[in-house]
Structure 1
């Protein structure tokens, strides 16, 4: 009966060992072929390098990015998670070596007379990894380290792009404040002239009322513009780990108007495959599969060798401590624990399948986000061109209106309408420039695999974390 039960359990172990999880390597290759077959239609003026932000040719921005990559708290936290993963991997690798240490034992047995024995020496146990349990745990540790590194690279991307985005938003908000102030000054000058004309009876009170309305409308915009300016500065200060009150910034009008390169079309597929989120999801899948393999190995016998080298003393048998050594092979097989182990394997298989689904979902999300970014980039370019033409037309219209008003060809209300149109065109032009700059950043962020990998390697080398 016992022999038959053992045979059944052994057969179950072999079946479970053969019925491994789905072949995720083949599925991974299929996903890579899918990414490689995609066409994103990205047009670029230049290749995007690891230090793409230097294309803005702004020393202040370069310094902010450098500070953020070295001092951002979220990024510093990821370094500790990488450190933890490295330590865990080291512990897993050391399990392949004999384990043990110095031991000291004392024993007293009462058998009609007390018999004492003692021993001191070095005791060690070495697990022979015949079925790959320890190797699978090491694989899981390596994959977990890869997860931590990809998470670090993802944060590096977010911090780098976030600094540039916040910097451009700060500059746009600064320009908006300056535009509103300039408009207020111009409207105040116009109001003074109009007030004199009303007093002299040249112009009606309606013209002055309209001038006051437009002036107050611009004044009402100023507090919100200043608040936006401070918020952008606060976001930037958080990224560089500094108080907003102590962060000093100089105007950077060229940065907002810069047109930087986006990833070349022939590198877009490579950039997608090297994205940190895709790499992290794949590493998480590899980790969960490796944990499942380690659990499967527990279905097989575990072999180990136990040894001792030291001094022993048995009272009334020996004359004192004597040198001794022993070595003993050991085999254990958790036959009675099979139901528990099988359920753990089943549970881990579900975890691995969920990880694959998440990996696949990450790819789908990444492709969709990249396509949205490319589409938004094209539309932002069109809007930037259109608002540029509208601004030029409004500026010309205002100049003509001023000339005609001086010559008496049109009334003040017509001049006021031209001025209002010009003010609106200014704001639209600034918003379009910011949207276009943000769209450029969106494409760089989505197709981040190449540059973030290179920047990450540089960061690891600079911090001494490169293996």
Structure 2
């Protein structure tokens, strides 16, 4: 570089750039977090039994609270192979590249050029005859050099643009976390309901076997003239109805298994989840304060980063009212002979500022500024709405868990009463004091009560997952500073 530019030119470029940089200002408002409606605690948290499994939630492995190794493996596959998550990660990498591009605008750009031309000029033979003279010649010109340009960010336009791009990048990083949490929540809820369905399938299979034995007994009694034909038809109806319920449950389970396969990124034909008649226990859950949700929910973090980006864009729009100053410099060698092109006598250089300002745009800049301010108001409203929605989700899930717990207690009592009623009616039937219709009615009631109880257990498990997701699933806002999103090949 020292061979191309004089020391004086380089010194002047650096001094002028430093002087303008030191005197630069940043237009636009500095970010202030918008005021938010905030309660001291959740209304539905009264009487909540709080656990503190910090060792699990701090790692973000919240699904391990359910103590199911098969579930842990499925979530691990989702984190690696889910295509919706891969798309969100690609958007993050795109936003990260835009930040790198915005940062590069703060520095000078340097390019090089080289050229060679050959030109000739001469008169025609007719003109030579008339004038008695002629002129012809060929000229050559060679050049090589460097060009540099540096837009001085006097008004902070480039810095505000970088600030906006960085905030957008962090918003997309939070979006990745939100997508991941949503997919994990969907997978865990589907898996837990599948396990409840396995238990219901076991119950129905056992009931079918019991009803088949009851039918055989009733047929024998009918042939012996002990019971009427109507008892046989009633027993057969009860058996076939329960068999139909068991068959119906099979396709419902298959659909859940297919949904899990898609979530972990494989075709449904490639995933088989073995049946298991064991339902994970409902864990004790931690509970955050409303103010902590601002740091624990990725969707809230994303919404706030969008506010930051919109705020920075106001500064970009305001800077359009002020002139742009660019320092440019060029230097190199130029000569008609290529052999001695690189020599001091053939050196050239230039250095100077360029000032550009818009004098008349018929309201264009004003419109851009008003649009930026309106977009800021839009993002603030979205941010506040996201916070309010998060509070509502937590409150809804708290009351849902409390009501389901109370309902499960009552339903358990109803089940125990139905089972006792069944025991009594069966004794009466064997004693010949009641007909089979009475027995079938009580048997159906006991079966329905037990299925309802199992459904409530599934609802409780699903509600616990929803509460964990509503509380952020162990995610922390500080994770945005570490850019944790990687391509699948980088994991």
Query: TM-score normalised to the size of structure 2?
Result: 0.82
Instruction: Give the deviation of 1:178 after TM superposition.
Output: 2.3
Alignment of 1:52-131 (within 5 A): 52-105=62-115, 118-131=142-155
CA 1:63–1:328 in structure 2 vs 1: closer, same or farther (change >3 Å)?
same
Alpha carbons of structure 1 residues 381 and 159: separation in structure 2 relative to 1, 3 Å: same
Task: Tell me if 1:47 matches 2:52.
Answer: yes
Alignment check: 8 A CA contact 2:66 2:280 kept: no
Gaps of 5+ in 2: 1-25, 123-136
User: Corresponding residue for 2:454?
Assistant: 430
Contact 1:88–1:141 at 8 Å: present in 2 too?
A: yes
C-alpha change, 1:421 and 1:222, in structure 2 (3 Å) is same
Question: Residues 353-392 of structure 1: matches in 2 within 5 Å?
Answer: 353-392=377-416
Query: What whole-Å deviation, never above 9, does each CA across 1:387-416 have from its counterpart, x for those lacking one?
Result: 222122222222222233223343322222
| RMSD over equivalenced CA pairs, Å | 3.0
Total equivalences in the alignment: 440
Q: CA separation of 1:149/1:371 partners in 2, compared to 1, >3 Å: closer, same or farther?
A: same
Q: Following superposition of structure 1 onto structure 2, how do residues 274-285 of structure 1 map, counting pairs within 5 Å?
A: 274-285=296-307
Look up the match of 1:160. 184
Match of 2:265 in 1: 241
Confirm whether residue 250 of structure 1 aligns to residue 257 of structure 2: no
Structure 1 window deviating more from structure 2 (451-460 vs 132-141): it is 451-460
- 1:8 corresponds in structure 2 to none
Q: Distance between the aligned counterparts of 2:321 and 2:482, measured in 1?
A: 44
Instruction: Check conservation: 1:384, 1:429, Cα contact below 8 A.
Output: yes
Normalised to the residue count of structure 1, the TM-score between the two structures is: 0.86
Q: Which residue of 2 aligns with 1:307?
A: 329
1:25 partnered with 2:32: yes
- By how many angstroms is 1:339 displaced? 2.5
Q: Which runs of 5+ in 1 are unaligned?
A: 1-16
Whole-angstrom distance in 1 between the partners of 2:248 and 2:478: 40
Match of 2:164 among 140, 150, 167: 140
Deviations 1:82-120 (A, max 9, x none): 111111100110111111311235679999999875532
Q: Aligned residue for 2:40?
A: 37
Find the structure with the greater CA-based Rg: 2
Q: 1:294 aligns with which of 291, 309, 316?
A: 316
User: 1:352: Cα distance to partner?
Assistant: 1.6
Alpha-carbon spacing, 1:195–1:252, altered in 2? closer, same or farther (3 Å): closer
Task: Confirm or deny: 8 A CA contact 2:151 2:325 kept in the other structure.
Answer: yes
Mapped to 2, the partners of 1:111 and 1:35 lie a distance apart of: 84
Cα distance between partner residues in 1 of 2:421 and 2:318: 79
Is contact 1:93-1:138 (8 Å) kept? Answer: yes
Mapped to 1, the partners of 2:222 and 2:191 lie a distance apart of 46
What secondary structure does 1:373 align onto?
Answer: helix
Q: Name whichever of 96-105 and 116-125 sits farther off.
A: 116-125
Once the 2 structures are TM-superposed, how far is the Cα of residue 212 of structure 1 from its aligned partner?
1.7
CA contact (8 A) 2:89 2:486 kept: no
Change in CA separation of 1:269 and 1:204 when aligned onto 2, cut-off 3 Å: farther
User: In terms of mean alpha carbon deviation, does 99-108 or 269-278 score higher?
Assistant: 99-108
**Structure 1 range deviating more: 349-358 or 336-345:** 336-345
Contact 2:38 2:290 (C-alpha < 8 Å) held by counterparts: no
1 or 2, which has the higher helix percentage? 1
1:417 corresponds to 2:441: yes
Q: 1:370 to 1:282 in 2, by over 3 A?
A: same
Q: Distance in 2 between matches of 1:72 and 1:188?
A: 45
